[in-house]
DNA sequence: TATTGTTATACTCTATAACTATA
DNA sequence: TATAGTTATAGAGTATAACAATA
């Protein structure tokens, strides 16, 4: 979505959880794109970097699992990051079917700086809620995601 | 998104507003699809019906504006609803460039029944938060959307 | 000249199926 | 036989450009 221009929303819409969630998400995506533009990565790519740089090196499939993306999607994401010199694939020595994906020095550096920018952006985005309630909001989102009744 | 399968999320992800928002939204979209399946409309189509059925009849462009979609997107949405006999286009007599889109009797009926189902689904989706906090959550979303600092 | 609806087209994101190599 | 990565491909969803009718 990039068509979140009009704010002339009638009540039938601002009553709908689906509408609200979708448009708040679109709005954040805009802000995120703006904030990350200087770093040349998208929010998704930054999330991939964050997962890959978390602690021990992991395989593409493991990363895909954490991110909740398909393994074919993961190929394209890692392709892009590798082309930009932010990560490196190497064949696992324990299981040569697997790619272990590690951050390069450039990747580590960009991760740190871009994560700072992202955190600032998110804080600003949530500012209308006030500090304590921003925390509450994040907790609520985590709760809704964790509820595995599916 | 339809790849919200894995719940094995590390902390780098559940800390991210973007990730949370995107995945909560995807999760709701799944539930919405399930709840609306008997009615043969998507959540978006139901939202279009709701906007068109709000009070006075409005034009396609006006509806598009309220929904926050492009006018070319609106064409396809109304096409689909018209094919299903839920709405009717007629040329405006005041300005013959405009299509006035009105709900058919079938459309009105479906709107009522599907909206009931949607409301039930949303209430259930927010149940993990508890009643008062669910209301608070919706208010927070409205606040974030209303903040027009862009 | 500008606006509304429309069509054609293209781009992004994502999934499915099939292939290769390893296990 | 099954798994990890890859490629090709197709399906949503959406936007841009150009056109026709009308203002």
Average pLDDT, chain B: 90
**pLDDT score recorded for residue A147:** 73
Segment A87-94 shows an average pLDDT of: 96
B96-113: b (≥16 Cβ within 10 Å) or e? eebbbbbbeeebeebbee
Please give the protein residue whose CA is closest to the C1' of the nucleotide C3: B97
Q: Which residues pair with A66 in a beta bridge?
A: none
Domain boundaries, chain B: 2-146
Asked if strand D comes closer than 7 Å to B150 Cβ, the answer is no
Q: Do B10 and A142 touch (CB under 8 A)?
A: no
Please give the protein residue whose CA is closest to the C1' of the nucleotide D17: B72
* pLDDT (tens digit per residue) in B66-89: 999 999 999 999 999 999 999 999
Q: Which nucleotide has the shortest C1'-to-CA distance from A61?
A: D4
- pTM of the predicted model as reported, rounded to 2 decimal places: 0.90
What percentage of chain B exceeds 70 in pLDDT? 91
* pLDDT (tens digit per residue) in B28-54: 999 999 999 999 999 999 999 999 999
* pLDDT (tens digit per residue) in A52-80: 999 889 999 999 999 999 999 999 999 99
Q: List the single residue in B with minimal CA-CA distance to A21.
A: B25
Second CATH level (architecture) for the domain B2-146: Orthogonal Bundle (1.10)
Segment B15-27 shows an average pLDDT of: 94
Alpha-carbon distance of B43 to A7, in angstroms, equals 20
């Amino acid at each position: 979505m990039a068509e979140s221009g009009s704010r002339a929303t009638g009540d039938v819409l601002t009553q709908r959880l689906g509408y609200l969630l979708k448009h708040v998400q679109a709005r954040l995506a805009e802000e995120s794109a703006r904030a990350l533009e200087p770093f040349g990565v998208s929010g998704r790519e930054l999330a991939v970097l964050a997962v890959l740089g978390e602690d021990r090196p992991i395989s593409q499939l493991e990363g895909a699992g954490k991110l909740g993306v398909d393994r074919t999607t993961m190929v394209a994401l890692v392709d892009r990051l590798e082309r930009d010199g932010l990560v490196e694939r190497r064949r696992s020595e324990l299981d040569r079917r697997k790619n272990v994906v590690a951050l390069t020095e450039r990747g580590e550096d960009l991760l740190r700086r871009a994560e700072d920018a992202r955190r600032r952006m998110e804080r600003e985005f949530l500012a209308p809620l006030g500090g304590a309630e921003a925390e509450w909001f994040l907790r609520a989102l985590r709760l809704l995601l964790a509820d595995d009744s599916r």
